[in-house]
Chains A and B, each alone.
Chain A
Amino acid sequence: MFIKRRDGRIEVRLNEAGRNIVYEAFGHVVAAERDPEHDWHRRLNAPIDPSSDDDNPLAMLTRQSQISTNAELAYMTRNEEFINEQEAWAWLTTMQIALRETAATNGILNDEKWNSADDKLRSQIQTLQAFLFELAECF
């Protein structure tokens, strides 16, 4: 699905169904970062130092900015046949956020919940896992 070329670029060999899955995943992360009402928004703003009532505002702003930058770059390049390393990193991090949030939103927080999840959800998560695994091999 992802092949690293000699020139450093990564070839994206996803079919239309695969492209639609990453398109949806990237779109969700872009929306979640922008919309405080989105199901994923609160967890994207999880505590940095749980022992403190308030996190460092600069660190929070940096996190928000970097998640948005990666998600938007991934979204913009979703139809590319070749992506460079920076774009591939944006794909990996944004897909990883989408994977984790899909699981958490559906209550999959431990192995027992994962084992008892319904087939459709498991299939959706396993597809993202497969994409991530192959993309990680390119780094």
Chain B
Amino acid sequence: MASVKPQRVETTSSQVLTDDAVETVRPWNVLVWDDPVTPMKVVEVIFKRIFGYPNAKCTQLMLTVHNEGKAVVWSGQKDIAESYCVKLQVAGLQSTIEQP
């Protein structure tokens, strides 16, 4: 086996990213849509189990879905948003993702 000597990598000032150089990526939203038959308690339980939100936040999100027809329940990276959307759909809620 060949031995490899570790080498220190020199960092120049031009390689250091500044705040201005960081590219901002718009987050993806996970939406839950209202339906006329799902019990409110079930929606709260699903939010708590999937996101681990406190009870008050689950209730607030459930009421937003009920009163406004939809709610943004999570925002962030696309792959994670997709994963949450799938979990919500598997739990029987109507959910989609969007990048506003």
**A positions within 8 Å CB-CB of B:** 46-51, 56, 59, 62-63, 66-67, 70, 89, 92-97, 99-100, 103-104, 108-111, 113-114, 125, 129, 132-133, 136-137, 139
> How long is the Cα–Cα vector from A95 to B46 in the complex, in angstroms?
13
> How long is the Cα–Cα vector from A56 to B39 in the complex, in angstroms?
30
Counting chain A CB atoms within 10 Å of each CB, the highest count among B35, B42, B49, B93 belongs to B42
- Report which of A63, A96, A137 forms a contact with B38, defined as CB distance below 8 A: A96
Known contacts A46-B89, A49-B97, A50-B96; is A100 also within 8 Å of B38 by CB?
A: yes
Query: Cβ of A47: which chain B residues have Cβ within 8 Å of it?
Result: 96
> How long is the Cα–Cα vector from A132 to B91 in the complex, in angstroms?
12
**B positions within 8 Å CB-CB of A:** 35-39, 41-42, 44-46, 48-49, 82-83, 85-87, 89-94, 96-99
Identify 4 new A-B residue pairs, CB closer than 8 A, beyond the known A50-B96, A92-B45, A99-B37.
A96-B46, A99-B38, A133-B42, A139-B48
Whether the Cβ atoms of A51 and B38 lie closer than 8 Å is no
Known contacts A49-B96, A50-B96; is A125 also within 8 Å of B41 by CB?
A: no
A-B contact number at CB 8 A:
89
> How long is the Cα–Cα vector from A103 to B36 in the complex, in angstroms?
8
- B98 nearest in chain A by CB position: A51
> How long is the Cα–Cα vector from A96 to B87 in the complex, in angstroms?
13
Whether the Cβ atoms of A139 and B36 lie closer than 8 Å is no
- B39 nearest in chain A by CB position: A133
- B31 nearest in chain A by CB position: A50
Whether the Cβ atoms of B82 and A97 lie closer than 8 Å is no
Query: Cβ of B86: which chain A residues have Cβ within 8 Å of it?
Result: 48, 59, 62-63, 66
Whether the Cβ atoms of A133 and B41 lie closer than 8 Å is yes
Whether the Cβ atoms of A48 and B85 lie closer than 8 Å is yes
Whether the Cβ atoms of A63 and B36 lie closer than 8 Å is no
Known contacts A89-B49, A92-B45, A136-B41; is A46 also within 8 Å of B94 by CB?
A: yes
Whether the Cβ atoms of B36 and A108 lie closer than 8 Å is yes
Known contacts A110-B36, A137-B41; is A99 also within 8 Å of B90 by CB?
A: no
